[in-house]
Structure 1
Amino acid sequence: MSTLSDAKREIREVVENWAVWRDAGDWNRFATVWHDDGYMTATWFQGPAKEFIEVSRKGFESGVNILHLLGGFSTDVLGDRAIAQTKMTILQRGIVEGVEVDVSCVGRFYDFFERRDGEWRIVRRQPIYEKDFMIPVAPAEYVPLDAELLHRFPQGYRHLAYLQTRAGFEIKPGLPGLTGEAVEELYAQGTAWLGGSTSAWAH
């Protein structure tokens, strides 16, 4: 019989597999961390996990350089539902205003999990963007940022959004940050999910 500690261990393994398999381009195994109705939100993508896998694969093959580091982990489990929060850093390298840069965005993965047929998998992943920064790969370089474009985005992911906008992506505004209405709404949805709501978006 599965125990609470077993559930937490299995959920943590799924979270870690997500980062390793996605960054390695292991798309067949990456697909196994999601339920069939899984949904992914990112700065540059919002939609079904199956579509996220495909666009990530195309980006990987075309040289888009996005990596993920994981840190502390906490999960709340109630029956066959769970909410997992994992400290993470998104790392992306690209060209901004003619200069090669690295952007680091620190935050949390906020994951809605469900156990179906004995398997814990992700139903919904919503990153929380807490703070970010941009540095040139060559320390002596200077990056002449457009201040108006930079401040168009929330503080938690404005440098990441700047790089991705310059790379041609359409960036979603108003995503959850460390504080504010968006993250409070997310927490309410998480509480409702643990309470048995019919949707990972309900509260």
Structure 2
Amino acid sequence: MYKNTIETVIAKQDISDVIMRYARAIDRADGPLLHSCYWEDAIEEHANTYNGPAHDYIDGAMARLIKGDVMMHHVGNMHTEIEGDTAWVETYLVTFARFQKDGEPWDTLTGGRIFDKFECREGEWKIAHRKMAFDWNRDEPASEGWCLGLFKPDHPETIMGCKGKDDLTYSRF
């Protein structure tokens, strides 16, 4: 039976911080922050869309992400098994993204899991290899009513999320 030690609890927190940083970085299209989640020699297997060096994947995705529409990654259950300086991590993920289809906005909601091999090098945990498993998906035409009109996106007091450094993530208050 697995028993946590203070070292494994700290390692799990460090690993969790990397996963949360990844979600923030991908949603805000923050390339440097996204790079900080992976080792330089890390591998990214992103379904049928990419399989290769993680940093090359990030560099190629940034131009699309910064110009793209809204995207949000919700991190769920996380299971971590630590074996020395290696950790095997399964993280449940629900993603929302808006894409254009024939000039019209479509919303896609996807549930899946990311499987990461983390490595601790010189006391720091980062992703060394990532694979994905897709469990379900729903695509439909975009439909925003903002709580039946309660919220008004164009009102000057309404803060709308955005990509890049103008988002509240970076400007705070």
TM-score normalised by the shorter chain: which range applies?
Answer: 0.7 to 0.9
1:25 is matched with: 29
Query: Relative contact order: is structure 1 or structure 2 higher (C-alpha 8 Å, sep ≥ 6)?
Result: 2
Task: Give the Cα–Cα distance (whole angstroms) in 1 for the partners of residues 80 and 102 of structure 2.
Answer: 41
5 Å-filtered alignment, 1:83-94, equals: 83-94=88-99
The one-letter code sitting in structure 2 at the alignment partner of 1:23 is: D
Which of residues 73, 77, 84 is equivalent to 2:82?
77
Tell me how many residue pairs correspond in the alignment: 139
The one-letter code sitting in structure 2 at the alignment partner of 1:80 is: D
Q: Tell me how far 1:81 sits from its aligned partner.
A: 0.6
Which of residues 1, 4, 8 is equivalent to 2:8?
4
1:13 is matched with: 17
1:119–1:2 CA distance, 2 compared to 1 (3 A): farther
5 Å-filtered alignment, 1:91-106, equals: 91-106=96-111
Which of residues 126, 134, 137 is equivalent to 2:131?
126
Which of residues 45, 48, 63 is equivalent to 2:50?
45
Task: Give the Cα–Cα distance (whole angstroms) in 1 for the partners of residues 143 and 37 of structure 2.
Answer: 37
Q: Tell me how far 1:47 sits from its aligned partner.
A: 1.6
Gaps of 5+ in 1: 140-203
**RMSD of aligned C-alpha atoms?**
1.9
TM-score after normalising by structure 1: 0.63
The one-character-per-residue Cα deviations of 1:127-169 (angstroms, maximum 9, x if unpaired) are 1100111121138xxxxxxxxxxxxxxxxxxxxxxxxxxxxxx
Give aligned-pair identity as a percent.
25
Gaps of 5+ in 2: 145-173
Higher mean Cα deviation, 112-121 or 17-26? 17-26
Q: Tell me how far 1:64 sits from its aligned partner.
A: 5.3
Q: Tell me how far 1:58 sits from its aligned partner.
A: 1.0
Task: Give the Cα–Cα distance (whole angstroms) in 2 for the partners of residues 100 and 30 of structure 1.
Answer: 26
TM-score after normalising by structure 2: 0.73
The one-letter code sitting in structure 1 at the alignment partner of 2:83 is: L
Task: Give the Cα–Cα distance (whole angstroms) in 1 for the partners of residues 111 and 85 of structure 2.
Answer: 29
Establish whether residue 115 from structure 1 lines up as the match of residue 120 from structure 2: yes
